[in-house]
Homo-oligomer: A and B are copies of this chain.
Amino acid sequence: MTTVSTRQDTTALLDRFRDVRARTDRLVRDLTPEDQTPQSMTTASPVKWHRAHTTWFFEEFVLGADPGYRPRDPAFRYLFNSYYETVGERHPRAARGQVTRPGVAEVAAYRADVEQQVADRVCAGTLDESSLALVELGCHHEEQHQELLLTDFKHLLSGNVIQPAHVDRAADPDPTAEPAPLRWMHVPGGVTRVGDAGEGFAFDNERPRHRVWLEDVELAGRQVTNAEWTEFIADGAYEQPDLWLSDGWATLQSQGWRAPGYWRHDEDEGWTTFTLSGRRPVVAAEPVCHISFFEADAFARWAGYRLPTEHEWEAWAASGQEVRGGLLDPERCHPDLAREVTLGNVWEWTASAYLPYPGFVTAPGAVGEYNGKFMNDQHVLRGASAVTPPEHPRITYRNFFPADSRWVFAGLRLAR
């Protein structure tokens, strides 16, 4: 699944493990049991489930590698396995929100117990290199679920007529704030190497590093803003079929899309959007967020540009200095004003389908199901978002979602 650095410093791994686990707890500190139980749709999961599933991952793949290990509760293997067919039967995904027991307290106890056992084994040095690599993988896995937990919880909360706030974000920026001006950045073409080649951690889908041919290209220095998106809306783009992919137009019509996800238009307030701090006015200088691939693609066409491929994106990101911004701050959970960042604010839809890199191989065993089996009819996003943990992103990172997904913190960057 992953290569762990061979000279793994056990102490560093343990610190990392504890930090990651602690942040999950931090993120849910203010959530009631009621908040943590339901799911808003099949593709989103309950908060409680995210907490238990990330724990199950360590239990199944790290503790479970020990033939003498006796699972805390056999039912948990059924309830908290996400999609690992090799592990066995699973609770139906669409019914995750109907599991009332174990409750939040039991899940917390499950977390503490497994955490302690993993930590003990790491300290005691009884884990082999493969298990240590799985501890590291489990940390990255849990970070992914930290982002999903917030993404899913935002979706759940948004359906509530009360439109409640989850975090007490400081006041919104001055609505007259200006985004960074749009600057085009040249990326020279030619045979280019992409994919992870480092000694550090990367997911299997970022490997192997390989050559691709690129033509010269220019990428926008910053992401598309809400100000630009309101022009797109005002120009009637949601009513013009020729701007849209055929599937996109059908989805737009069946879903009644007229603006990004969570946006609403009122006579009095104009455009507002739902945030984890409650419903607020759309801020013009922020990057647009919660758009589908279909909308990103239509916007680029409308603007006279196009989306970059994932390889163009990676070549661009590798060509300059890495600038981070707009990553997970548990007190905010919302994009910063649009400026020139490489990684952060919103995930960026690319023109690329999510396919295996040449020579891609999955890990043996159940953990081989981690990424590879989803390489069908999904679209690659690059970068990171305002709910991505700061340790998590890389410029070789390949995120992926179906083309109609809007609950993800995703926007776009233009290319030409």
Contact = CB atoms under 8 A, between A and B. Distances in A.
Contact of A100 (B75, B95, B101, B157): B157
Interface in A1-51: 32-40, 48
A391 interface: no
A77 B247 CA distance: 23
A249 B377 contact: no
Given A100-B35, A355-B351, A86 B242 contact: yes
A373 B250 CA distance: 12
A333 B211 CA distance: 42
A38 B35 contact: no
A246 B86 CA distance: 12
A80 to B, nearest CB: 11
Interface string A331-358: 0000000000000000000011101101
A102 B35 CA distance: 10
B242 A160 contact: no
A191 B213 contact: yes
Given A103-B32, A160-B99, A373 B246 contact: yes
Interface residues of A, number: 63
A159 B95 contact: yes
Interface string A268-309: 000000000000000000000000001000000000000000
A199 interface: no
A100 B37 contact: yes
A218 interface: no
Contacts of A40: 98
A69 interface: no
Closest 5 CB pairs of A and B: A353-B353, A85-B241, A33-B33, A213-B213, A377-B377
Interface of A: 32-40, 48, 75, 78-79, 83, 85-86, 91, 95, 97-104, 156-157, 159-162, 164, 191, 210-213, 215, 241-242, 244-249, 294, 351-353, 355-356, 358-359, 368-369, 373-377, 403
Given A75-B162, A91-B161, 4 more contacts: A33-B34, A34-B48, A34-B104, A100-B156
13 contacts: A34-B34, A34-B37, A37-B38, A38-B38, A38-B98, A85-B241, A85-B249, A100-B156, A101-B162, A215-B358, A242-B368, A249-B373, A353-B353
